[in-house]
Amino acid sequence: MQGYDSVAINSDVELGGTDQKFNVLRGRDLQLFEGMEPQIGLFMPILLGTDGKVKMSKSIGNYVGLNEPADVMYHKIYSLADSIVENWFELLTNIPLAEIKQMMADIAAGKMNPNDAKHRLAIDIVTQYYGAEAAEAAAAKEREIHSGNAIPSDAAECSVDAGTYGALDLLVNIKAFASKGEARRMVQNGGVKIGGEKLADPQAQIEIKGADQLVVQVGKRKFFKVNF
Protein backbone atom coordinates (compact mmCIF):
# COMPACT_ATOMS: atom_id res chain seq x y z
CA MET A 1 0.00 0.00 0.00
CA GLN A 2 2.87 2.38 0.73
CA GLY A 3 4.25 1.72 -2.73
CA TYR A 4 0.89 2.66 -4.30
CA ASP A 5 1.23 6.16 -2.83
CA SER A 6 3.68 6.86 -5.63
CA VAL A 7 0.96 6.06 -8.17
CA ALA A 8 -1.72 8.06 -6.36
CA ILE A 9 0.32 11.28 -6.29
CA ASN A 10 2.12 10.66 -9.61
CA SER A 11 5.48 11.01 -7.86
CA ASP A 12 8.57 12.04 -9.85
CA VAL A 13 11.06 11.74 -6.98
CA GLU A 14 10.66 10.05 -3.60
CA LEU A 15 13.05 10.75 -0.76
CA GLY A 16 13.31 8.25 2.09
CA GLY A 17 15.55 6.44 4.51
CA THR A 18 17.38 3.32 3.46
CA ASP A 19 14.77 1.31 5.37
CA GLN A 20 12.17 2.47 2.80
CA LYS A 21 14.02 1.11 -0.23
CA PHE A 22 11.54 -1.73 -0.81
CA ASN A 23 8.52 0.59 -0.72
CA VAL A 24 10.09 3.11 -3.11
CA LEU A 25 11.11 0.44 -5.60
CA ARG A 26 7.68 -1.18 -5.36
CA GLY A 27 6.22 2.21 -6.17
CA ARG A 28 8.30 2.28 -9.36
CA ASP A 29 6.99 -1.16 -10.35
CA LEU A 30 3.38 -0.07 -9.78
CA GLN A 31 3.93 3.12 -11.77
CA LEU A 32 5.25 1.09 -14.72
CA PHE A 33 2.22 -1.20 -14.43
CA GLU A 34 -0.03 1.88 -14.71
CA GLY A 35 1.88 3.14 -17.74
CA MET A 36 3.54 5.97 -15.81
CA GLU A 37 7.12 7.20 -15.79
CA PRO A 38 8.79 5.49 -12.81
CA GLN A 39 9.91 7.77 -10.01
CA ILE A 40 13.50 8.37 -8.96
CA GLY A 41 14.36 7.09 -5.47
CA LEU A 42 16.78 9.01 -3.26
CA PHE A 43 17.85 7.26 -0.05
CA MET A 44 19.38 8.76 3.07
CA PRO A 45 21.27 7.02 5.91
CA ILE A 46 19.29 6.16 9.03
CA LEU A 47 19.96 8.18 12.18
CA LEU A 48 20.26 5.69 15.00
CA GLY A 49 18.59 6.52 18.29
CA THR A 50 20.37 7.21 21.57
CA ASP A 51 20.44 3.47 22.36
CA GLY A 52 22.61 2.85 19.29
CA LYS A 53 20.45 -0.09 18.21
CA VAL A 54 17.51 1.07 16.08
CA LYS A 55 16.48 4.27 14.32
CA MET A 56 15.41 7.20 16.44
CA SER A 57 11.78 6.98 17.52
CA LYS A 58 9.77 8.86 20.12
CA SER A 59 7.58 5.80 20.73
CA ILE A 60 10.68 3.75 21.57
CA GLY A 61 12.08 6.54 23.71
CA ASN A 62 15.54 6.68 22.09
CA TYR A 63 15.18 10.23 20.81
CA VAL A 64 16.40 13.77 21.41
CA GLY A 65 13.51 16.22 21.16
CA LEU A 66 14.12 19.45 19.26
CA ASN A 67 12.18 21.44 21.86
CA GLU A 68 13.70 19.82 24.94
CA PRO A 69 15.62 22.09 27.35
CA ALA A 70 19.25 22.66 26.44
CA ASP A 71 20.58 20.71 29.45
CA VAL A 72 18.37 17.71 28.65
CA MET A 73 19.47 17.77 25.02
CA TYR A 74 23.13 18.00 26.06
CA HIS A 75 22.80 15.11 28.50
CA LYS A 76 21.17 12.77 26.00
CA ILE A 77 23.85 13.44 23.40
CA TYR A 78 26.71 13.24 25.90
CA SER A 79 25.33 9.86 27.03
CA LEU A 80 25.28 8.33 23.54
CA ALA A 81 26.73 4.89 22.92
CA ASP A 82 30.31 5.25 21.67
CA SER A 83 29.47 3.18 18.60
CA ILE A 84 27.17 5.82 17.06
CA VAL A 85 29.12 9.01 17.71
CA GLU A 86 30.58 8.98 14.20
CA ASN A 87 27.11 8.47 12.68
CA TRP A 88 25.76 11.50 14.55
CA PHE A 89 28.74 13.70 13.66
CA GLU A 90 28.29 12.90 9.97
CA LEU A 91 24.51 13.37 9.84
CA LEU A 92 23.96 16.21 12.31
CA THR A 93 26.97 18.54 12.11
CA ASN A 94 28.90 20.51 9.50
CA ILE A 95 32.26 19.32 10.76
CA PRO A 96 34.41 18.19 7.77
CA LEU A 97 34.36 14.44 7.21
CA ALA A 98 38.16 14.25 7.31
CA GLU A 99 38.14 15.84 10.78
CA ILE A 100 35.48 13.40 11.98
CA LYS A 101 37.50 10.45 10.69
CA GLN A 102 40.60 11.77 12.48
CA MET A 103 38.67 12.01 15.76
CA MET A 104 37.49 8.42 15.39
CA ALA A 105 41.06 7.28 14.61
CA ASP A 106 42.36 9.11 17.69
CA ILE A 107 39.71 7.44 19.85
CA ALA A 108 40.60 4.01 18.45
CA ALA A 109 44.30 4.67 19.12
CA GLY A 110 43.63 5.81 22.69
CA LYS A 111 44.72 9.38 21.94
CA MET A 112 41.26 10.85 22.59
CA ASN A 113 38.67 10.09 25.23
CA PRO A 114 35.28 9.22 23.63
CA ASN A 115 33.63 11.56 26.15
CA ASP A 116 35.59 14.49 24.71
CA ALA A 117 34.16 13.70 21.27
CA LYS A 118 30.65 13.41 22.71
CA HIS A 119 31.09 16.73 24.52
CA ARG A 120 32.03 18.38 21.23
CA LEU A 121 29.08 16.73 19.50
CA ALA A 122 26.65 17.83 22.21
CA ILE A 123 27.99 21.39 22.20
CA ASP A 124 27.68 21.55 18.39
CA ILE A 125 24.08 20.29 18.28
CA VAL A 126 22.81 22.28 21.27
CA THR A 127 24.41 25.40 19.78
CA GLN A 128 22.38 24.88 16.60
CA TYR A 129 19.14 25.22 18.57
CA TYR A 130 19.98 27.40 21.57
CA GLY A 131 23.24 29.22 20.79
CA ALA A 132 26.80 28.80 22.05
CA GLU A 133 26.23 30.41 25.45
CA ALA A 134 23.31 28.11 26.29
CA ALA A 135 25.31 25.09 25.11
CA GLU A 136 28.21 25.89 27.44
CA ALA A 137 25.72 26.51 30.28
CA ALA A 138 24.15 23.10 29.59
CA ALA A 139 27.57 21.44 29.80
CA ALA A 140 28.26 23.22 33.09
CA LYS A 141 24.89 22.14 34.49
CA GLU A 142 25.63 18.53 33.51
CA ARG A 143 28.76 18.69 35.65
CA GLU A 144 26.80 20.21 38.53
CA ILE A 145 24.14 17.50 38.31
CA HIS A 146 26.77 14.78 38.52
CA SER A 147 28.31 16.49 41.55
CA GLY A 148 24.87 16.69 43.20
CA ASN A 149 24.57 20.47 43.05
CA ALA A 150 21.78 20.79 40.47
CA ILE A 151 18.60 19.10 39.27
CA PRO A 152 17.97 18.43 35.54
CA SER A 153 15.14 20.27 33.81
CA ASP A 154 13.40 17.00 32.94
CA ALA A 155 13.13 15.81 36.55
CA ALA A 156 9.80 14.09 37.14
CA GLU A 157 7.36 15.94 39.40
CA CYS A 158 4.71 14.21 41.49
CA SER A 159 2.52 14.71 44.56
CA VAL A 160 1.84 12.65 47.67
CA ASP A 161 -0.23 13.29 50.79
CA ALA A 162 1.53 14.55 53.89
CA GLY A 163 2.31 11.83 56.40
CA THR A 164 4.90 9.22 57.32
CA TYR A 165 5.95 6.65 54.72
CA GLY A 166 8.20 3.64 54.69
CA ALA A 167 11.11 4.50 52.42
CA LEU A 168 10.34 1.66 49.99
CA ASP A 169 6.63 2.53 49.93
CA LEU A 170 7.47 6.14 49.07
CA LEU A 171 9.87 5.14 46.29
CA VAL A 172 7.27 2.88 44.70
CA ASN A 173 4.51 5.45 45.25
CA ILE A 174 6.35 8.13 43.25
CA LYS A 175 7.14 5.51 40.57
CA ALA A 176 10.89 5.67 41.10
CA PHE A 177 10.79 1.86 41.06
CA ALA A 178 8.33 -0.74 39.86
CA SER A 179 8.59 -2.84 43.04
CA LYS A 180 9.83 -2.73 46.61
CA GLY A 181 12.38 -5.43 45.81
CA GLU A 182 13.92 -3.31 43.08
CA ALA A 183 13.92 -0.27 45.37
CA ARG A 184 15.52 -2.23 48.23
CA ARG A 185 18.38 -3.42 46.02
CA MET A 186 19.14 0.11 44.85
CA VAL A 187 19.06 1.44 48.43
CA GLN A 188 21.39 -1.32 49.60
CA ASN A 189 23.76 -0.42 46.76
CA GLY A 190 23.82 3.20 47.89
CA GLY A 191 22.00 4.51 44.84
CA VAL A 192 19.18 6.51 46.48
CA LYS A 193 19.23 9.96 48.08
CA ILE A 194 16.29 11.66 49.77
CA GLY A 195 16.58 15.35 50.47
CA GLY A 196 20.24 15.26 49.47
CA GLU A 197 21.11 12.54 52.02
CA LYS A 198 21.98 8.99 51.04
CA LEU A 199 19.31 6.52 52.15
CA ALA A 200 21.14 3.73 53.97
CA ASP A 201 18.26 1.83 55.61
CA PRO A 202 15.51 0.34 53.41
CA GLN A 203 13.28 0.22 56.50
CA ALA A 204 13.64 3.94 57.26
CA GLN A 205 10.54 6.03 57.86
CA ILE A 206 10.23 9.24 55.84
CA GLU A 207 8.11 12.03 57.33
CA ILE A 208 6.49 14.35 54.78
CA LYS A 209 4.97 17.56 56.10
CA GLY A 210 4.76 21.26 55.43
CA ALA A 211 4.79 22.92 52.04
CA ASP A 212 8.38 22.25 51.01
CA GLN A 213 9.40 20.11 48.08
CA LEU A 214 11.29 16.87 48.67
CA VAL A 215 13.86 15.82 46.07
CA VAL A 216 14.49 12.11 45.57
CA GLN A 217 17.53 11.06 43.55
CA VAL A 218 18.04 7.61 42.05
CA GLY A 219 21.46 6.95 40.57
CA LYS A 220 23.40 9.89 39.16
CA ARG A 221 20.77 11.64 37.12
CA LYS A 222 17.26 10.39 37.83
CA PHE A 223 15.41 12.91 39.99
CA PHE A 224 11.88 13.19 41.38
CA LYS A 225 10.47 16.43 42.78
CA VAL A 226 7.85 15.37 45.32
CA ASN A 227 5.18 17.91 46.28
CA PHE A 228 2.80 17.46 49.19
pLDDT digits (tens, 9 = 90+) for 14-60: 988 888 889 889 999 999 999 999 999 999 888 999 988 888 988 88
For residue 210, the model assigns a pLDDT of 64
Which residue(s) pair with 194 in the sheet?
197, 216
Residue 54 lies in a domain: no
Residue 180 lies in a domain: yes
Enumerate residues 6+ apart whose C-beta is below 8 A from 124.
92, 93, 95
Mean of the per-residue pLDDT values of the chain? 91
Residue 13 lies in a domain: yes
pTM over 0.85: no
Residue 60 lies in a domain: no
Domain membership of residue 125 as a residue range: 70-146
Same domain as 200, residue 169 = yes
Residue 81 lies in a domain: yes
Whether the Cβ atoms of residue 131 and residue 113 lie closer than 8 Å to each other? no
For residue 121, the model assigns a pLDDT of 98
Give the C-alpha separation, 121 to 106, whole Å: 15
For residue 17, the model assigns a pLDDT of 83
Number of folded domains that form the chain = 3
Give the C-alpha separation, 177 to 188, whole Å: 14
Residue 61 lies in a domain: no
Same domain as 160, residue 137 = no
CATH number of the domain that residue 106 is part of:
1.10.240.10
- Using one digit for the tens of pLDDT, what is the confidence trace for 209-221? 765 678 898 988 8
Give the C-alpha separation, 52 to 192, whole Å: 28
Give the C-alpha separation, 194 to 165, whole Å: 13
Same domain as 160, residue 222 = yes
